[in-house]
Amino acid sequence: METLGNIADNLVVRLISNDLRAQFIDHMMSLGIKPEIPRSLAAKTLKALKTSIETRDGELASVAVRGHFDQLRIAAANAIEARQAEHGI
């Protein structure tokens, strides 16, 4: 979905992709798989978003949101790997 959204450069496809990712995260958390983004990275994202709003910089906001989802993807992968290791998978 992410690749398709990038190729199509279509906001609707990107929004659907983001929603699906959010649903996967909710499901993982219900299974006890809890991805955690380091506070320092979350703070950096929030600072970039604040700056983007103050300066009306849509590109900076876009980069911050994409970066957040990249961080979330990495955290989710790490959480899944940790869960698998706990269960000997």
Q: Global pTM? A: 0.64
Average pLDDT over residues 5-15: 66
Is residue 77's pLDDT more than 60?
A: yes
Q: Where are the domains of the chain?
A: 2-86
Is residue 56's pLDDT more than 60?
A: yes
Q: How confident is the prediction for the chain on average, in pLDDT?
A: 82
State pLDDT tens for residues 21-47. Answer: 778 777 877 888 888 888 999 899 889
Rounded distance between C-alpha atoms, residue 36 and residue 23, angstroms? 16
Rounded distance between C-alpha atoms, residue 88 and residue 84, angstroms? 6
